[in-house]
Amino acid sequence: MMIKKLPRNRAGRDWVVGDLHGCFELLRRLMKTIGFNPQTDRLISVGDLVDRGPDSHLVGEWLAQPWFHAVRGNHEQMALDAMRNPLEDLDRHLRNGGRWLSEMPPAERDACVAALAQLPLAIEIDSEVGKIGVVHADCPGNDWSALAERLAANCPSAEDYDTLLWSRERVFDRGAGHVNGVALLLVGHTPQDHAIRYDNVMHLDTGAVYGGKLTLFCLDDFVEVSLPAGSEHAARYQLH
């Protein structure tokens, strides 16, 4: 399944979290701050759940929670590539904070890789304001409906993968045009000092693993809540 469609949450609140990179304890604290209710609320991740941070090995436990949903980020893709083709791709993953996966016991590592492989490239959420999209980096061609059709048919292009997982142009150019077919698109991938919106795209990576902060965005009232990371999260890696 390359796109997951979530029905409207009429019982509770929907929250979207920026790039985690293994900072799950920080996320737990932030969820406590907002009074997250796992019986009624949902938590959606923009991807990059793993690498660089201290708790990447817990990703399987989080993905097993029925209230937690995530799209695939470029770091999940690097992890999958490293396990499928170690001769060519393992070194790149290790250089980008992926040693945790290589050091896991084989059975646990296999279960973790299987969970990461199930992550969709996009999530579409029904809401009162219309469709809300979630991808890791950006929407190809600014056309959500066309992207959703290709993903539903399991036929994304190489350009789709590149844009969905790696694109930074919208941030670097401070805008790249309105994304048609959604009221709002939530993304991560490029660390910012604070959550920022360009066009109808909200960027939620606020650099938690680099000593910045972790940000949650509520889809019900568009409230943003952040929690600063401690110095223990100030990882030093080249940006990928």
Q: What is the pLDDT of residues 146-173, one digit of tens each?
A: 999 999 999 999 999 999 999 999 999 9
- pLDDT, one tens digit per residue, over 4-58 is 999 999 999 999 999 999 999 999 999 999 999 999 999 999 999 999 999 999 9
- H helices of the chain, in order, are 24-34, 59-63, 74-84, 86-95, 99-102, 106-117, 144-152, 158-166, 169-172
Degrees to nearest 5, angle at CA 227 with 172 and 38: 110
Rounded to 5 degrees, φ, ψ at 225 are: -130, 130
Dist CA 101 CA 110 (whole Å) = 10
* Inter-residue contact 218 to 13 (CB < 8 Å): yes
**pLDDT band of 214, cuts 50, 70, 90:** very high
Catalytically active residues are 75
- Nearest CA among 22, 37, 16, 74 for reference residue 229: 22
Is the residue at 77 inside a domain? yes
**pLDDT band of 61, cuts 50, 70, 90:** very high
Q: What is the pLDDT of residue 230?
A: 75
Is the residue at 123 inside a domain? yes
- SS3 at position 172: helix
Is the residue at 7 inside a domain? yes
Q: What is the pLDDT of residue 240?
A: 57
**pLDDT averaged over every residue in the chain:** 95
Is the residue at 236 inside a domain? no
Is the residue at 101 inside a domain? yes
Is the residue at 134 inside a domain? yes
pLDDT greater than 50 at residue 137: yes
Q: What is the token pair recorded at 240?
A: 């990928």
* Inter-residue contact 22 to 52 (CB < 8 Å): yes
Residue 122 sits in a domain of what CATH number? 3.60.21.10
Is the residue at 191 inside a domain? no
* Inter-residue contact 138 to 201 (CB < 8 Å): yes
Indicate the number of domains in the chain. 1
More confident residue, 237 or 57: 57
Is the residue at 237 inside a domain? no
- SS3 at position 236: coil
Check: pTM over 0.85? Answer yes or no: yes
The residues pairing with 43 across neighbouring beta strands, listed in sequence order, are: 15, 68
Host domain of residue 29: 3-14+22-175+197-231
Percentage of the chain exceeding pLDDT 90: 95
pLDDT greater than 60 at residue 235: no
